[in-house]
Structure 1
Amino acid sequence: MNTLKTGLLAGICAVATGLALPALADQLPRGEAEALGLDPARLARLDGTFQALVDKGMMPGAVIMLIRDGQIAHLSSMGTLTPDGPEMTEDAIFRIYSMTKPIVSAAAMQLVEEGRLVLNAPVATYIPEFAKMTVATGETDAEGKAVTVPATRTMTVQDLLRHTSGLTYGFFGSGPAREAYNEAGVANSELSGLEQAKLLASLPLEHEPGTKWEYSRSTDVLGGVIEAVTGQPLGEVLKARIFDPLGMEDTDFYVDDSADHGRIAEAYPDHAKIGPFGMFDPRSRAPSQSGGGGLVSTVHDYALFAQAMMNGGELNGTRILSPKTVQLMTSNHLEGIAPGKYYLPGPGYGFGLGYGVRLETGNAPSFGSAGEYYWGGAAGTYYVADPQEDFIALLMIQSPTNRTPVRLTFKNLIYPTIIDSKVD
């Protein structure tokens, strides 16, 4: 029998001695759901639906958090941490894969604010190997290699942030550029971020830069750019600039402490493939620090980042970005740019700098508001923020196979819990 646990606590108590409680030290305050405009009965329906999905075998377990007005309005966990393991807990550690992208994009924008990085500067300004790129024509030669032509446009930092770089991914889809990635071993975890970026620079692009949106290793290359500009590994940059200032103690590229290994959530073995690859093991260090998908985190840690972004770049007196920077990141940057082969933001959405951005309340297959921004990870984690409703929702699961239907179910259950809407 799977166990459901729900927390709707009002506040976090301090220890009388003044000693910090590590498990509670860096969490958002907890509020009462109904006072924050959410319907307890509809929240129970949300949890019951996810308990049923767990019972059906869609994933071993899940953690759900809804935040309203900067307070945790609803927090629940159900199922188990691993297929045959203990109960799921709210401090479980999840591979967040592409939910790494908004964090790395925020770090890049910090460098833009400091004048160390320029959005319309060529990527080659920071990594010279990108100076002369080629583009795959879609054809192959007699040896099966991609036929290429010289790129006529320059790949910029903004292209990396909005996935219009011309780069692609190799683990899904088909085409000569994707096949070239796989043959070259782009996904090799023994490559550092900067080494991987330089390897990508030697391979053909799928599109001319700046012409099409295509989900890609753009944010991995952006991580390489950050390393080139700062002279530090990406993990050190994120720790100093985002994780430590916000108190994100359980977010990193690795879980080094063996005492925390028992907190790592796992997928069912037959649901654990991401394309041809298995899920990465955060217990083992490797040179790779993927800016596009290498982080692990907890629902509480990610909530701190999400709330800071909702607040215009600040949390509890600590500012990581300017409000104008957050506005720029969460605005559409795809005017005049066509979708590529696989337009993951979906109908009704554009794309900003690290986020899918909802263009209007209608014309999408899910509830939401104009200006909402979101992204998710390949193992099923999902994050959506709605400034109009002052509402954030986080879903933490590990189920690459079932991520798409589970996310849509989540999205269409969370919005009807709002009974006191801030939107006229």
Structure 2
Amino acid sequence: MNMMVSRRALLGGLALGGASAMLPGAALAWRATGEQLYPATHAFIKGFVDRRELAGTLAAIGKGQAAADFFGAGTTAMDSRTAVGPDTLWRLYSMTKPVTGIAAMLLIEDGKMALDQPIADFLPAFARMNVQDTPDGSLTAVHPAKTAITVRHLLTHTAGLGYTIIQKGPIKKAYDDAGIVGGLASRLPLPGWPPVTPAPSLAVMADRLAALPLVYEPGTKWSYSISLDLMGRLIEVVSGQAFDAFLKARLFDPLGMASTWFHVPASEVGRFTTNYAPLGGTLLPFDPATSSIYLDQPPYPFGGGGLVSSARDYDRFLAMLLGEGETGGVRIMKPETARLAMSNMLADSVDRKGTFIDGEGFGAGGSVSLPTSRHGEGVFGWAGAAGTIGFVHRKLGYRAAAYAQYMPSNAVPFQEKFADTFAKDVMR
């Protein structure tokens, strides 16, 4: 089953720029310092549990390289008495994208590929792409692409590729038929989502993708896409390692991210959350922790939306970004590489009107705020389809993330309003 995503709410507060009668009473897991230091954020995330809108919520906020404050409310599931905390496991979905983007930047730093190098140098099937004459229109009314897809295009969603959660009509069906998906949501059939059998590997997915037309001319339009999943295949070929093995060796192990995986080990189910669909005032568990689809090895590691992680682990990743490649005495990348990754990589000519990043920039898998953004420049990060959001604010010197598990993520304004609420605390 395809991963679902809320669209306009996906970015939510990144610009810094139905109640359930079944929900148990709030189990509290926040630190007192979190309530004192970030009172608006504390009240905000706790309110969703107090109002019985979400089972559990958590925030992680750190200043500079200091230890993060973790504070939250509620439990890992409606029928659980396990309070959420820094080591609770959450489905990150598209918060995976910046991780994949940073992994690609490591190979650029290594000199194994270049930012503006055609991906066809490594994936020859993408050498001669066609583009739909009409986006989401006929699959046969096409014309040759004028521009080769580059590494930059994949990092910034400007390759012209599609996404099953965005596209409509024949191209969406072609993606579904080919098993070109960016994540999995449940073992259960979900209303409105046709059953899809994912491609059996990143290599097969990439080859099937190359055989289909692009939706847009590369380099001309920002369009949310499967590009970070294709980046996973590019990383495999360029590095000579399996994509998940590369992430473990170059990011997760050095950063001490021991609770970050593409599937949840059976031994860790006790700290895994249940994912819910708010419907008619009730939270419906469509991916229970004990029978989650994340307990299976995925058909391939979804670089655009497949990771499960803890708030403690993802904070280590954000701390590394805020430290421009270094945290805890461990340097992952050069400062100049980190700064490039978190900079706006889009040309002014790229059309962003009406998209998630209208008025914003984009870097290596994440949104980049601009001087004209609501809270100024310096923000880099992204959000996930199940309500999570994580970012660094380089100008203010903070890293922040919020966690909940519900889909679609615009069902309640948890993700959408988190960054604005955080700003009230740190800019007061």
The answer to whether the aligner puts 1:262 opposite 2:270 as a matched pair is yes
Indicate which of 385, 409, 413 corresponds to 2:392.
385
Aligned 8 A contact 2:179 2:198 in 1: no
The answer to whether the aligner puts 1:315 opposite 2:315 as a matched pair is no
The equivalent residue for 2:423 is 415
What is the rounded CA distance, in whole Å, between the counterparts of 1:191 and 1:232 in structure 2?
A: 17
- Secondary structure in 2 aligned to 1:100? helix
Indicate which of 370, 379, 384 corresponds to 2:377.
370
- Secondary structure in 2 aligned to 1:124? helix
Greater Cα shift, 66-75 or 322-331: 66-75
Indicate which of 47, 50, 56 corresponds to 2:42.
47
Indicate which of 286, 292, 303 corresponds to 1:291.
303
| 1:336-376 CA-partner distances (Å, limit 9, x unpaired) | 333357622244x111122211102x543xxx331211211
- Secondary structure in 2 aligned to 1:6? coil
- Provide the TM-score with structure 2 as the length reference: 0.82
Indicate which of 166, 173, 184 corresponds to 1:172.
166
The equivalent residue for 1:85 is 80
Aligned 8 A contact 1:194 1:227 in 2: no
The equivalent residue for 2:131 is 135
| 1:43-73 CA-partner distances (Å, limit 9, x unpaired) | 2332222222224343211111111122235
TM-superposed CA distance for 1:389, in Å, is 1.1
The equivalent residue for 1:357 is 368
TM-superposed CA distance for 1:83, in Å, is 2.5
The equivalent residue for 1:13 is none
The answer to whether the aligner puts 1:232 opposite 2:241 as a matched pair is yes
Aligned 8 A contact 1:94 1:397 in 2: yes
Greater Cα shift, 298-307 or 127-136: 127-136
Change (3 A) 1:342 1:228: farther
The equivalent residue for 2:17 is none
| 1:364-402 CA-partner distances (Å, limit 9, x unpaired) | 3xxx33121121111111012111111111111111223
Letter of the 1:75 counterpart: F
The equivalent residue for 2:201 is 192
The answer to whether the aligner puts 1:215 opposite 2:214 as a matched pair is no
The equivalent residue for 1:339 is 351
What is the rounded CA distance, in whole Å, between the counterparts of 1:44 and 1:298 in structure 2?
A: 23
Indicate which of 145, 156, 164 corresponds to 2:150.
156
- Secondary structure in 2 aligned to 1:149? strand
Change (3 A) 1:338 1:190: closer
Indicate which of 31, 48, 61 corresponds to 1:66.
61
What is the rounded CA distance, in whole Å, between the counterparts of 1:381 and 1:184 in structure 2?
A: 29
Letter of the 1:83 counterpart: M
- Secondary structure in 2 aligned to 1:75? strand
Structure 1's unaligned 5+ residue stretches are 9-31, 34-39, 272-277
Q: Aligned pair count?
A: 377
Letter of the 1:82 counterpart: A
- Secondary structure in 1 aligned to 2:112? coil
The answer to whether the aligner puts 1:109 opposite 2:105 as a matched pair is yes
Identity among equivalent positions (%) equals 33
Greater Cα shift, 239-248 or 127-136: 127-136
Which of 1 and 2 has greater Rg?
Answer: 1
- Secondary structure in 1 aligned to 2:361? strand
What is the rounded CA distance, in whole Å, between the counterparts of 1:219 and 1:410 in structure 2?
A: 25
The equivalent residue for 2:14 is none
Letter of the 1:167 counterpart: L
Aligned 8 A contact 1:81 1:89 in 2: no
The equivalent residue for 1:15 is none
Change (3 A) 1:134 1:294: same
The equivalent residue for 1:6 is 30
What is the rounded CA distance, in whole Å, between the counterparts of 2:276 and 2:56 in structure 1?
A: 10
Letter of the 1:397 counterpart: A
Letter of the 1:226 counterpart: I
The equivalent residue for 1:249 is 258
Higher relative contact order (CA 8 A, sep 6+): 2
TM-superposed CA distance for 1:270, in Å, is 4.7
Letter of the 2:214 counterpart: L
Q: Calculate the aligned-residue CA RMSD, in Å.
A: 2.2
Greater Cα shift, 188-197 or 289-298: 188-197
Letter of the 2:104 counterpart: A
What is the rounded CA distance, in whole Å, between the counterparts of 1:131 and 1:283 in structure 2?
A: 37
TM-superposed CA distance for 1:185, in Å, is 2.4
- Secondary structure in 1 aligned to 2:399? strand
Change (3 A) 1:268 1:56: farther
Change (3 A) 1:73 1:110: closer
Change (3 A) 1:146 1:55: farther
Letter of the 2:209 counterpart: L
Letter of the 2:230 counterpart: V
| 1:163-211 CA-partner distances (Å, limit 9, x unpaired) | 1100020123425433321232212445222221111111111101111
